[in-house]
Amino acid sequence: MTALQASMSQMEQVDLEAGTEHHFADGMYARVLRRAKGTLIIGKVHKREHFYIVTKGSVRVSDGETWRDYTAGDVMVSKPGTQRAVLALEDSVCMTVHRTKKRNLEKLERELVEQDESSMFGPGNKLIDGKLRCPSLPQQ
């Protein structure tokens, strides 16, 4: 996963912030991320268990050893300490659901994910550095 992330950091990046929505409800945070077909995303390492839900399309997910396909309606439980690569097999929408009372994205990210100095994306999926490959993702 580290080698893949390092290789991808040399490429132009997709504007994930434009395709990201944040939703809050009584002790829960849901992040919805739209991605175009062919988009490959390396997720951050999460500190706590949470849900990962494919709400539209289909994606191929790797834990660094194997790949598995998921389609709209599939739900997986993401374990703490894991990192995944997700390839959109078609235009797709995925959502993660986390337990937290925080609503500030910077504080929320510090609580939920391990610090990763090599990540190209900060809180809210904002590109930290690099060139955008495409300015926006398809809307639902």
Q: Give the DSSP H or E segment for 59.
A: strand 58-62
DSSP per residue, 63-105: -SS-EEEEETT-EEEEPTT---EEEESSSEEEEEEEE-S---H
Domain assignment present for 132: no
Q: What is the mean pLDDT of residues 34-59?
A: 92
Work out the pLDDT band at 89, boundaries 50, 70, 90: very high
Q: For the residues 110-124, what does the mean pLDDT come to?
A: 67
Q: What is the CATH number of the domain that holds 64?
A: 2.60.120.10
**How many structural domains is the chain composed of?**
1
Domain ranges, residue 63: 2-119
Report whether pLDDT(55) > 80.
Answer: yes
Q: Is residue 14 part of a domain?
A: yes
Checking if the pLDDT of 17 tops 70, the result is no
Among 65, 67, 116, 73, smallest CA distance to 87 is for 67
* CA atoms of 133 and 20, how far apart (whole Å): 16
- Is 133 among the domain residues? no
Residue 139 has pLDDT above 50, yes or no: no
Q: Per the domain annotation, does 98 fall within a domain? A: yes
* Assigned domain for 13 exists: yes
Instruction: Return the number of other C-beta atoms located less than 10 Å from residue 107's C-beta.
Output: 12
95 pLDDT higher than 90? yes
